Amino acid sequence: MEKTLNELAQYLGGTLVGDGEARITGLAGLDEAVEGQITFLANPKYAGKVSDTRASAVVLPPGAERYGRNAIQVANPYLAFAKLLTLFHVRSLPVKGVCEGAVVGSGVIMGTDVTVHPGACIMDGVKLGNRATVFPGAVLYEGVEIGDDTVIHANVTIRERCRIGSRVIVHSGTVIGSDGFGYAPDDASWYKIPQIGIVVIEDDVEVGANVAIDRAALNVTLIRRGTKIDNLTQIAHNCVIGENCMIVSQVGISGSTTIGSHVTLAGQVGVAGHIHIGDNTMIGGKSGVTGSIPANGMFSGIPAIPHREWLRAMGTVPRLPEMKKNISALEKRIQELEEKLEQLSSK
């Protein structure tokens, strides 16, 4: 693909500075870009590299020094670069229909331009939306519903009656709708509580590889539209995850927890069950959330506390050995003074 810089500026809705007829055939980072490519400046600390890049053009924020380079000025260069990556490199999946070697049950309803690859298993009563794609090894249990333009990658399992929205991407190895972890004590053993609910994933969600999202015990485990879930995440039964959340790798969310919209859970965060996390909240990596968290805050630590308080607390950690030594010296000094006072009072 080849585009003029003027075409790219129009595509991004940015302001062109320089030669609009410059031809762009690809894109790369500031250090790697060569003539014919476009690069971007998103972090001001790398601004000096603009003078040295060999790229034919740079995407940068308004007011940034362009060192005489052709440029497209946009408010969010990182987002603009993502859009350029999509333009130059992302292609629609080819439509292949139901391939030989796929297993399709009875009563399956398929929209137009559906692709089911060899080795995929589509059980009875499944509904596939227009342009849905199911890759090899994926298994869709009875009554599963898949929306338009949704991609189910290899070896994904979606259990019975779960519903997946439109433009959803589910990466390899993920299991949606596995039984929630529910057992009733029965003397010295455990009695399994049937998990008869489902998982509902709304539109424009992306689920990473090897994620487990458990079905609800009775009603719905719900992932609302626009949320992005990284690899190796566990979401337990009856959870509700709000819109446009970012759930980073190795997060574990216990059952019946409600998470608001625009919440970010950094890597390895653990969330206790039956609590609420408010909208627009950020939880730092490796934190343990043991109780409900209000909206519009940043929290870190185990248990999670306001981030600034956690920073102050962590600032004392390197000094703990010295503090212990000083406290021991003070204790010894106090003991010596008490002994002297006791000797004086006895005279």
Note the pLDDT tens digit of each residue in 103-153.
999 999 999 999 999 999 999 999 999 999 999 999 999 999 999 999 999
Decide if 228 contacts 246 (C-beta within 8 A): yes
SS3 state of residue 115: strand
d(CA 177, CA 175): 7
User: Which residue do the tokens 């090894």 mark?
Assistant: 137
Mean pLDDT, range 298-311, rounded to an integer: 95
Catalytic positions: 237
pLDDT score recorded for residue 317: 87
Domain range summary for the chain, segments of one domain joined by +: 3-89, 97-308
d(CA 196, CA 321): 54
Query: Read out DSSP for 213-276?
Result: EEPPSSSEEEE-TT-EE-TT-EE-TT-EE-TT-EE-TT-EE-TT-EE-TT-EE-TT-EE-SS-E
Strand segments, DSSP code E, in 266-343 are 270-271, 276-277, 282-283, 288-289, 298-300, 305-306
Residue 338 has pLDDT above 90, yes or no: no
Q: Tokens for 184? A: 């009733």
- State what percent of residues in the chain have pLDDT above 90: 90
Topology of domain 3-89 in CATH is 3.40.1390
Considering Cα of 38, then 42, then 46, then 51, what sign does the dihedral take? positive
Residue 345 has pLDDT above 90, yes or no: no
Topology of domain 97-308 in CATH is UDP N-Acetylglucosamine Acyltransferase; domain 1 (2.160.10)
pLDDT score recorded for residue 341: 86
pLDDT score recorded for residue 347: 67
